Amino acid sequence: MSLRINETAPDFTTETTQGTIHFHEWIGDGWAILFSHPKNFTPVCTTELGAMAGIEGEFRSRNTKVIGISVDPVESHGKWKNDIKVATGFDVEYPLIGDRDLKVAKLYDMLPAEAGSSSEGRTPADNATVRSVYVIGPDKKIKLILTYPMTTGRNFAEIIRALDSMQLTAAHKVATPANWQQGDDVIITAAVSNDEATERFGSFDTVLPYLRKTRQPAL
């Protein structure tokens, strides 16, 4: 079965460019982003890991750790980092998982179950399903899942936007409307009564009986 929102993120122990990690222990009491790429030394992936390196501080400021993964060995990740720096100007300082036996990729449905048991001899085309993003909360539950095709580089600003939305929900019982950006009005969730909404937010606007908007609380 596929993983779903609000399920506990599968735990695992694996080798990374920063040594052995136990995933849940590594996450600690904050948030985490696990994002995968098809293969090292390929063009889209090079731009993606550089882009993430350039904004890692944005995630850190949100109490969120970042970790990358592909089926390439750890040694390959280390060699590839220089190319990423040349292409994008950013040093990759977050850990990268070397998932040579496809264990984590299968655990997180990044590859079909019948994909084989080793990364040896695989090409980028073989790994076409491996460009996924998992956002995991402090409770170790999966909060967001995104999967992109191999030819489409991710918009990491959108991942930050979604993370801000989820952290607002966790802290304030609000949701965010379509195309919401930081500072825009938010939606009061149905679990909050009008009386509680007044106590929590002061004034709010009832657009429809089921759609109430208010100013964004501070994160």
Domain ranges of the chain: 13-151, 173-214
pLDDT at 12: 98
Cβ partners under 8 Å of residue 128, min gap 6: 38, 149, 150
Active site residue 45: yes
CATH topology of domain 13-151: Glutaredoxin (3.40.30)
Assigned architecture for domain 173-214: 2-Layer Sandwich (3.30)
Task: Quick: pLDDT tens for 121-165.
Answer: 555 555 545 689 999 999 999 999 999 888 899 999 999 999 999
* Dihedral, CA of residue 41, residue 133, residue 152 and residue 86, to nearest 10: -40
Q: Among residues 34, 45, 168, 186, which one is catalytic?
A: 45
User: To the nearest whole number, what is the mean pLDDT of the chain?
Assistant: 92
Q: What percent of the chain has pLDDT over 90?
A: 81
The model's pTM is 0.91
The length of the chain, given as a count of residues = 219
